[in-house]
């Protein structure tokens, strides 16, 4: 039964479309996953625990953010707070995906939450701009999620297993930064996201001297505040423009 369902899913054109939409970013995600896998072992994490973390957490930005804190023996509350702040965007993603997937069983929605990702969210919203359920949305999501998961997990586990054979002189950290930049730039679609990115970059550099990588928290808080402020300002401006028009009509 499972084999038949899998074959039917692979034959679904929307699932194949979701996978194809991920191909443009798979190379960057693979480089990011490889860097993260190597970084976990290089910071002293055992191979088995690193593989477990890669499969269970499945959140590259959170993993990279907390690894230096774990290596520095930071307090547990700092580690948890950093991971929570880095992943706050998924609360926003979930609230927007609710319009599409709220009718699904809870177990299905939990799996959707595990497999969701930034690039999947962007691709999904481009394909389905109208916030209402449609039968093709679930196969599209799973096609994109499968491609994204494999592009991350396979290189990440390779990096974990081969970490001791990969010298730091290869500059994989720089390759990971380039991969992140490529993914980030593909997601900047409006003025609010551009402003939040600029504010986060400035705040991270300005507070780089803070201990325990707390500049990451400062950058996240500043970016969220800037993004929310920009969106509020745009809404107020739109209302102000509509008000004179309504007055003229009267």
What pLDDT score does 43 carry?
Answer: 84
The per-residue pLDDT for range 69-117, each reduced to its tens digit, is: 888 888 888 888 888 877 877 887 888 888 899 999 999 999 999 999 8
212, two tokens: 């325990």
Q: Tell me how many degrees the CA angle 80-82-88 measures, rounded to the nearest 5.
A: 100
pLDDT-derived band at 1, boundaries 50, 70, 90: very low
Question: Which of 52, 22, 42, 21 is closest to 176 using CA atoms?
Answer: 42
Match 């500049």 to its residue by tokens: 215
What pLDDT score does 140 carry?
Answer: 95
Rounded Cα distance, 247 and 242, in Å: 9
What pLDDT score does 249 carry?
Answer: 55
249, two tokens: 């009509």
Range from 48-52, 71-75, 157-161, 164-168 carrying the lowest mean pLDDT: 164-168
- H, E, C per residue of 149-211: HHHHHHHHHHHHHCHHHCCHHHCHHHHHHHHHHHHHHHHCCCHHHHHHHHHHHHHHHHCCCCH
Range from 4-13, 107-116, 124-133, 234-243 carrying the lowest mean pLDDT: 4-13
Decide: helix, strand or coil at residue 67: helix
Rounded Cα distance, 143 and 136, in Å: 11
pTM of the entire predicted model: 0.74
Under 8 Å between Cβ of 28 and 149: no
> Which of the pair, 174 or 145, is modelled with greater confidence?
145
**pLDDT for 145 beyond 90:** yes
69, two tokens: 């804190």
């Amino acid at each position: 039964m499972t084999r038949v369902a899998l074959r039917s899913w692979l034959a679904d054109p929307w699932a194949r479309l979701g996978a194809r939409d991920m191909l443009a970013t798979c190379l960057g995600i693979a480089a990011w996953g490889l860097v993260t896998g190597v970084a976990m072992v290089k910071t002293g994490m055992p191979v088995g625990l690193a593989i477990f973390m890669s499969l269970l957490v499945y959140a590259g930005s959170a993993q990279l953010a907390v690894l230096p804190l774990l290596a520095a023996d930071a307090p547990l509350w700092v580690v948890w707070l950093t991971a929570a702040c880095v992943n706050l965007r998924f609360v926003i993603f979930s609230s927007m995906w609710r319009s599409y997937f709220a009718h699904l069983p809870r177990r299905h929605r939990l799996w959707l939450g595990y497999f969701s990702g930034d690039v999947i969210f962007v691709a999904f919203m481009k394909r389905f701009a109208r916030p209402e359920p449609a039968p093709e949305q679930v196969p599209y999501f799973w096609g994109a999620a499968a491609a994204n998961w494999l592009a991350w997990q396979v290189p990440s586990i390779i990096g974990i297993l081969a970490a001791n054979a990969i010298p730091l002189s290869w500059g994989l950290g720089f390759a990971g930064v380039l991969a992140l930049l490529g993914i980030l730039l593909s997601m900047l679609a409006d003025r609010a996201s551009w402003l939040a990115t600029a504010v986060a970059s400035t705040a991270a550099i300005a507070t780089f001297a803070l201990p325990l990588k707390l500049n990451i928290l400062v950058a996240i808080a500043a970016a969220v505040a800037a993004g929310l402020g920009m969106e509020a300002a745009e809404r107020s401006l739109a209302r102000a423009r509509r008000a004179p028009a309504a007055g003229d009509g009267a």
